[in-house]
Structure 1
Amino acid sequence: CREINRLRQERRAYIFAVDQPTGLDGDSGEADRDCVIADFTVTIAATKRGLIADNATNFVGRLEVVPLSDLPLETADETVTCTASLHGLLPHRPFDAHKNQFGRVGIVAGSRGFAGAATMCTWGALRGGAGLVEVFVPENIYEIVAAAAPFESMVKPVKSYRDLVEEKIDVWGIGPGLGKDNATEIIELIQRTENPMVVDADALNIISANVSILKNCRGPRLLTPHPGEMKRLAGAQRISRAELARKFTSEFPVTLLLKGSRTVVAEGGKRISYNTTGNPGMATGGMGDVLTGVCAALLAQNLSPFDAARVGAWACGRAAELALFNNSESEQSLLPRNVLTNLGRAFREL
């Protein structure tokens, strides 16, 4: 084990583990002092609980499950997202399809100094398959965003976020780069809108001042916090990420996508789902903005919030992998635009 780890460190060798890394407890995720540090772990049929433990992540690396369809397995409280589990959620489009069948997405994002967040979120919605994408931004950055946004989107200036309730939008994505200057209006929009909404970034920070508003929203809400935003929403708790997600979704009627190296998706009454794709290169600004747009687009294509979160996290992570191994990017050079470029390849694998 020490020799394998030395080769990984000194020769930059990629280490593959079959079943589980040597030295890792498959039940608890506890690691021996000289446990093999794997870059990829391939497990057969089902995932041992220890492989998805929070403290095992750096020893397991990228996790892949090889399904055995003929092997009967007991139903567990947790599941791992892989291509087999997502198969069929994005069916072939009918040949006579038209844009209105794939939803009108409204992006509420951006503020002075954060116009790029609105643009990246918009790209995510377009690349995620939305039929139409409208971008609502403050008047003071309208010209900047209108010049930088994709030609395929429609950019509209906003005087008051309260007015957006009347817009004919099928699914909303709200929060990236939004700022907190109009918190009261944003809270009203989140509560009053009847259609599904992906809530991210500053919209989450606004909610954290009064999380109880999530109990009174008129439509489905998919929350996509990173660990810092989750801490503001739920407070500091010494429990696992899965336990935290389960506890939060039992208290609030929302779907939760808790971002991280092993993204967790939770919803009341459903099994906790762990994402398996992605790499450390995704730890850079803008990745979450892209994910918000992609999830909104998937909701607009009639996926449930739970499935939209699972597919969105998997596809963005897989696109990041393809950028590294097919496009010669590195963990240091990877950018959100590289994820956008490779989303098509990722979706084709489903």
Structure 2
Amino acid sequence: MILSAAQMLEAERIAFSAGAKAEDLMEIAGREAARLVRQFHPKPGRCVVFFGKGHNGGDALVTARHLAEVGWSIELQKSFSDFDLAPLTAKQLGRIWKTRSEVDRPLVVLDGLLGIGASGEPREPVATAIRHINALRATEAAWVLALDIPSGLGSEVCVQADATVALGFAKKQLIADAATHFVGRLAVIPLPGVYAPSDADRAEILQSDDLRSLLPPRGFDTHKGQCGRVAVIAGSRKYPGAARLCSTAAVKAGAGLVTLFVPPDIAPALSAALIPEVMVSPVADLREILDQKFDAIAIGPGLGRERDEMVRAFLSECSAPCIIDADALNAISAAPSCLKNTPAPRLLTPHPLEMERLFPQNFRTRREWLEAFVSAYPVTLLLKGARTLVG
């Protein structure tokens, strides 16, 4: 789920009134944020901690303490005097020790200056600290992790993070189109006892843990005939590499039997260039594929535009689930009505330019763009981007 800042603050208030302790939640947030740092940087290095006076600063200090325990060098950059710190933040400061070693790489910066409760343009001394963080990233290639939100997000002076760890739930301002450049990678750390309100946005931020169950470990006696039959319709004389990449990806993703359908004039060359697991079948007329049995069909990469009408007819009649990409998307952009009454599921995977040809954005946000399209056509849309959307 996705919450506004006000909804998140209210969810925390309710959790505290039910007995949750801020210090316990802070410990969980810091421990998991440190784990995220170590995911990207397994070997200890130098960590510079920028922290403010509120609990966001406390989250950063707990993160640094957990990193120090596994050998990281810690450098503290505080923007306020100890007397200005919130009591819990001051307590966390007292539990951490500054360490210094000869190891300066990797260089990680923690942004714990401002939390979701901040508003307006950052004031001094925070604004200077934000500029300092960005300078470390620009001149020393520091990897910046923002705690809950990049400080100053939505303002002229804003931290540019490589990753942001959202605490409890993702916040609306983190997924705004203009925020991606500053938020970087987005991870969400659940907080026990903090629940989303009933009116929260039901959209989900998908992480690896959410997707892992879709690819369970296979049994020792599993054979290729039990792992699906996939057809790939791709490639042309001008773009043979697309067919090679697409069919290889199908094999690497775990498909048991992969057949690549290509124009007859390039079949011999591709047969010699492909990995041996891919079966190559020359086909001049896509209707020849309609009576064959496949669990899924991918169509489009490198097809060229010479067979647009044939592609549209195929997608109108094919009874297998189809993934539609690249030139197949360009083909249907001339007559998207072919998506209206398809006999099986269709997944479209456009990048922004392909999506614009298919369905102009017309000043919508990316999410509004996606929602308008899937309301008009009974398909699933995966809109590619630094923050890919699925609906």
Q: Equivalent residue for 2:384? A: 259
- 1:1-41 Cα deviation digits (max 9, x unpaired): 111111111112111101100001xxxxxx21110111111
CA deviation digits over 1:107-136, x for unaligned, max 9? 000001200000000111011110110000
Distance (Å, rounded) in 2 between the aligned partners of 1:68 and 1:85:
16
* 1:84-233 matched pairs, under 5 angstroms: 84-233=209-358
Q: Output the CA distance in 2 between the equivalents of 1:67 and 1:99.
A: 38
How far apart, in 2, do the equivalents of 1:222 and 1:216 lie? Answer: 14
TM-score, with normalisation over the residues of structure 2? 0.65
Task: Output the amino acid matched with 2:143.
Answer: Y
User: How does 1:33-72 map onto structure 2 within 5 Å?
Assistant: 33-72=156-195
Structure 1 position 239 matched with structure 2 position 364 = yes
Q: Distance in 2 between matches of 1:127 and 1:69?
A: 37
Shift of 1:182: 1.2
Contact kept? 1:198, 1:223, Cα under 8 Å: yes
Secondary structure of the corresponding residue to residue 178 of structure 1: coil
Q: Give, in whole Å, the separation in 2 of the partners of 1:87 and 1:117.
A: 27
Partner of 2:74: none
d(CA) in 2 for partners of 1:69, 1:112: 56
Give runs of aligned pairs for residues 261-340 of structure 1, distance below 5 A. Answer: 261-266=386-391
Displacement over 4 Å in runs of 4+: none
- How many residue pairs align between the two structures? 260
Bigger relative contact order (CA 8 A; separation at least 6): 1
Q: Distance in 2 between matches of 1:79 and 1:157?
A: 42
Does residue 16 (structure 1) correspond to residue 145 (structure 2)? The answer is yes
Distance, in Å, in 1 between the alignment partners of 2:325 and 2:192 is 37
Tell me, what secondary structure is at the counterpart of 1:80? coil
Aligned with 2:237: secondary structure?
coil
1:63 and 1:41 map into 2 onto residues whose CA distance is: 5
Aligned-pair Cα RMSD in Å: 1.3
Distance (Å, rounded) in 2 between the aligned partners of 1:68 and 1:154 = 49
TM-aligned CA deviation for residue 86 of structure 1: 2.3
Structure 1, unmatched stretches of 5+, are 25-30, 267-350
Question: Match for residue 135 of structure 2?
Answer: 6
Structure-2 separation of matches of 1:161 and 1:227: 27
Per-residue CA deviation, residues 269-320 of structure 1 (Å, 9 max, x unaligned), is: xxxxxxxxxxxxxxxxxxxxxxxxxxxxxxxxxxxxxxxxxxxxxxxxxxxx
TM-score (ref. length: structure 1) = 0.72
CA distance in 2, matches of 1:70, 1:150: 51
Q: Contact 1:67–1:84 at 8 Å: present in 2 too?
A: no
**Matched AA of 1:45:** G
Matched residues in 1 for 2:214 and 2:167: separation?
Answer: 23
In structure 2, stretches of 5+ residues that fail to align are 1-129
Q: Which amino acid aligns with 1:16?
A: L
Q: Distance in 2 between matches of 1:236 and 1:224?
A: 16
| AA at the equivalent of 1:17 | A
Q: Which structure has the greater CA radius of gyration?
A: 2
Query: Displacement, 1:256?
Result: 0.3
CA distance in 2, matches of 1:211, 1:4: 47
Amino acid at match of 2:339: L
Q: Is this contact kept in 1: 2:131–2:157, CA < 8 A? A: yes
| CA displacement at 1:69 relative to structure 2 | 5.0
Tell me the alpha carbon deviations over residues 179-216 of structure 1, each in whole angstroms, 9 at most, x when there is no partner. Answer: 11111211111111111010000000000001111002
Task: Decide whether the 8 Å contact of 2:361 with 2:369 is kept in 1.
Answer: no
Task: Give the superposition deviation at 1:161.
Answer: 1.2
Q: CA deviation at 1:158?
A: 0.8
User: Post-superposition shift, 1:97?
Assistant: 2.0
AA at the equivalent of 2:164: T
SS of equivalent residue, structure 2 residue 164: strand
For residue 225 of structure 1, report the CA deviation from its aligned partner: 0.2
Q: Percent identity?
A: 46
Q: CA deviation at 1:70?
A: 4.3
- Assess if the C-alpha contact under 8 Å between 1:256 and 1:265 holds in 2: yes
